Amino acid sequence: MDSGHVAWILTSAALVCMMIPALALFYGGMVGSRRILNMMMMCFGGASLVAVLWALFGYSLAFGNSVGGLGLIGDVTEFPGMNQLLAADEEASIPVILFAAFQLFFACVTTALVAGAAAGRMKFGAWMLFAGIWATIVYFPIAHWVFAFSSADGSTVGGWIANGIKAIDFAGGTAVHMNAGAAALALALVLGKSSGWPKVEHAKPHSRPLVLIGAGLLWVGWFGFNAGSALSAGHSASVVFLNTAVAASAGLLAWSMVERLRRGAASSMGAASGLISALVAITPACGSVSPLGAVAIGAIAGAVCSLAIELKFRLGFDDSLDVVGVHLVGGILGTLLIGLFATDAAPNGVNGLFYGGGVELLGVQALATVTVLVYSFGITWILAKILDRTIGLRIGPEDEMRGIDLAAHSELAYLTDEDPVELGSPQRG
The share of the chain scoring above pLDDT 90, in percent, equals 85
Q: How many CB atoms lie within 10 A of CB 270?
A: 21
Residues near 284 by Cβ (< 8 Å), separated by ≥ 6? 168, 169, 170, 171, 172, 173, 174, 331, 334, 335, 338
Interatomic CA distance for residues 55 and 59, integer angstroms:
7
pLDDT score at 420: 60
Average pLDDT over residues 156-162: 96
Q: How many CA atoms lie within 13 A of 157 on its CB side?
A: 12
- Of residues 374 and 1, more confidence is placed in 374
Residues near 92 by Cβ (< 8 Å), separated by ≥ 6? 1
Is residue 373's pLDDT more than 60?
yes
Letter string b/e over residues 227-242, b meaning 16 or more CB atoms within 10 A of that residue's CB: bbbbbbbeebbebbbe
Is residue 119's pLDDT more than 80?
yes
What residues pair up with 394 in beta bridges, in sequence order?
A: 122
| pTM (predicted TM-score) | 0.94
pLDDT score at 90: 72
pLDDT digits (tens, 9 = 90+) for 19-75: 999 999 999 999 999 999 999 999 999 999 999 999 999 999 999 999 999 999 999
Is residue 177's pLDDT more than 90?
yes
Interatomic CA distance for residues 104 and 57, integer angstroms:
11
3-30 and 36-53 helices, crossing angle to 10°: 150
pLDDT digits (tens, 9 = 90+) for 233-246: 999 999 999 999 99
pLDDT digits (tens, 9 = 90+) for 238-275: 999 999 999 999 999 999 999 999 999 999 999 999 99
Average pLDDT over residues 383-406: 94
